[in-house]
Amino acid sequence: MIKFFLMVNKQGQTRLSRYYEHVEIHKRTMLEAEVIKNCLSRSREQCSFIEYKDFKLVYRQYAALFIVVGINETENEMAVYELIHNFVEVLDRYFSRVSELDIMFNLDRVHIILDEMVLNGCIVETNKNRILAPLFVLDKMAES
């Protein structure tokens, strides 16, 4: 099961956080700070999986942005690693060349995309067209 999904930049600012199990807000801040510290201290040749407390972190870096997913032992690390990339590709398609700013200014949209892909800690959809379908409906409505 996926426990949380984070996007944090190199300065340690959280740009997106989605928890699939309830975590107190002050604990979130602490956890996010620790998680990013863990990722930042690693070099390219280190592996993308970190054992952290009683779960594992799977992370990928895109420019200055880290995407970190916390999982338990029932998930396949490599599958989650590629899930991150699939997510980024969906963002890229929607925002055409996504940047950190797109994510900040369109937090609700990013949330919708993530909710289409991961629900209740499980991967629910991986087909890019179907992931984006509700958003296109939404955008059409907004235009009209």
C-alpha closest to that of 104 among 20, 4, 37, 7: 7
Whole-number Å distance between alpha carbons of 102 and 137: 19
The alpha carbon of residue 32 and the mean position of all alpha carbons in its chain are separated, in whole angstroms, by 13
Binding of other proteins at residue 64 (CB under 8 A)? no
Binding of other proteins at residue 62 (CB under 8 A)? no
Whole-number Å distance between alpha carbons of 140 and 144: 6
Binding of other proteins at residue 8 (CB under 8 A)? no
Binding of other proteins at residue 14 (CB under 8 A)? yes
Q: Tell me the per-residue interface mask from 66 to 105 with other proteins, x by CB under 8 A, - otherwise.
A: --------x-xxxx-xxx-xx-------xx-----xx-xx
Binding of other proteins at residue 111 (CB under 8 A)? yes
Note the residues at the interface with other proteins (CB under 8 A). 13-18, 20, 22, 25-26, 28-29, 32, 42-43, 45-51, 54, 74, 76-79, 81-83, 85-86, 94-95, 101-102, 104-109, 111-112, 115, 119-120, 122-130, 133-134, 137-139, 141-142
